[in-house]
Homo-oligomer: A and B are copies of this chain.
Amino acid sequence: MSSPLRLGIAGLGTVGIGVVKIVQKHAGLLAMRSGREVAITAVSARDRMKNRDADLSAYRWEDDPMAVATADDVDLYVELIGGDNGIARDSIQAALRAGKDVVTANKALLAMHGQDLALLAEDLGRVIRFEAAVAGGIPVIKTMTESLAGNDIGRVMGVMNGTCNYILTRMESAGLPYEAVFEEARQLGYLEADPQLDVGGIDASHKLAILSAIAFGTQVDFDAVEIEGIERVSIDDIRRAADMGYRIKLLGVAQMTARGLEQRMSPCLVPADSPLGQLVGGTNMVVLEGDSVGQIVLRGAGAGEGPTASAVLSDIVEIARGVRMAMFGQPASRLKTARPARTAVPAAYYMRLELQDKPGALAKVASVLGDAGISIDRMRQYGQHSDTSVPVLVVTHKTTPEAIDYAIQTLPRTGVLVSDPVELRIEEV
């Protein structure tokens, strides 16, 4: 057997402690599978005195993550601090310069600075792995960089924020409005300190931008993701969508088109009986489409101590085995600049319109849709919603986002709507 692989771990939150526990519990299994012992030598976190659910007494404590990152007795620096800048970034750079490989779960950092870090690692002949950064325990990075290496990837989709999926699922099952379930989620500790990271779609978009880079051989371009969170998803829409056979998911889609790379994160309708539609609670799902393999669906826990630590361990074992992979599946210096494109791929759309209950209202709506070149697949008018309005649901045939924008801007001018029209894309899955 080779010499042990010596880990330095910075960040001892849920994931960090999960990693420590696996290294302790499965020392034999890891050694067998790695061909060498995997040992922790040093750890660091903000508060040494905090009560943690693991025995850390055998490891050297460092107050400063930089000391772990650059220690002589550390071969592999495991960054689990988080944050898209500051000490997480500094310590990774220092570790690379000190000749260490790096494993991180930090999606925000990779979404903002992944390209620079990949270039630095390559210059220095070091490796950065990050399976845990996207979709927790689901092996999506490995599947894309390795299993689909023989494929031209056309589209990547995913439900990659468990908190949002929990909220949407719970709204449907309990019939509760967004605000109530948001408050539940907060009390259950499901939300980030800044809830916008979750419900605003930021966290999921970090992950999508990373997947795009691998899928299309382009530099990570987080700023180009069209992001919409779940705040405007109403219980009404969830119910109406269900009536029509759909569920609403916060869905990320990255797709290479002739016009450029489309990246969008938004609440979408998907068929209730599709794998994505069946996904409930905090579970994540990633759908990958390759020209040879067809569609691959991966499903599992997207967060939590065990699943995320499992992903970190898979990276650690790969490095212990001597596997040296380019960060995004090919040399960072060869990644193309992404040419971002606004969403133009046609899709069916769902629209909910609250109309005045008077003759001719529907005719005016139909006329606007006709002018926009939108043809209607299905329409349902419900009984009166309030004293003065009736809800009308429209599912369109495939049409362009531009046509939908035109309709949404024009409809209020008909004077027959009692509230702003709602539209949601029906992503073809």
Contacts and interface: CB of A to CB of B under 8 A. Distances in A.
Given A292-B22, A293-B300, A300-B293, A313 B273 contact: no
A217 interface: yes
Interface in A365-392: none
B318 A146 contact: yes
Nearest to A274: B278
A299 B429 CA distance: 14
Interface stretch (A154-162, A235-243, A249-257, A301-309): A301-309
- Count identical subunits in the complex: 2
A309 B150 contact: yes
Interface in A329-350: 329-331, 334
A80 to B, nearest CB: 15
Contacts of A32: 217, 330-331, 334
Interface residues of A, number: 61
Interface in A278-324: 278, 290-301, 304, 306-307, 309-314, 316-318, 321-324
A354 interface: no
A15 to B, nearest CB: 11
Contact of A278 (B148, B152, B273): B273
Interface stretch (A49-57, A135-143, A202-210): A135-143
Given A150-B22, A317-B150, A310 B290 contact: yes
A411 interface: no
Contacts of A143: 139, 142-143
A357 interface: no
A298 B297 CA distance: 6
A294 B300 contact: yes
B151 A310 contact: yes
B321 A306 contact: no
Contact of A307 (B22, B293, B300): B293
B301 A298 contact: no
B150 A292 contact: no
Interface of A: prevailing SS: mixed
A150 B323 contact: no
Most B Cβ at <10 Å: residue of A142, A292, A329, A334 = A292
B137 A294 contact: yes
Contact of A146 (B142, B148, B275): B142
Nearest to A21: B292
Interface string A165-206: 000000000000000000000000000000000000000000
A147 B309 contact: no
A30 B149 contact: yes
A149 to B, nearest CB: 4
Contacts of A295: 300-301
A388 B297 CA distance: 48
Contacts of A46: none
A60 interface: no
Contacts of A152: 26, 29
A34 interface: yes
Contacts of A297: 297-300
A389 to B, nearest CB: 35
A33 interface: yes
A301 B310 contact: no
30 contacts: A22-B150, A26-B150, A29-B150, A33-B145, A33-B329, A139-B146, A139-B147, A142-B142, A142-B143, A146-B314, A146-B318, A150-B313, A150-B314, A150-B316, A273-B278, A275-B299, A278-B278, A292-B309, A292-B313, A293-B306, A294-B300, A294-B304, A296-B300, A297-B298, A298-B298, A298-B299, A299-B299, A321-B324, A321-B325, A322-B324
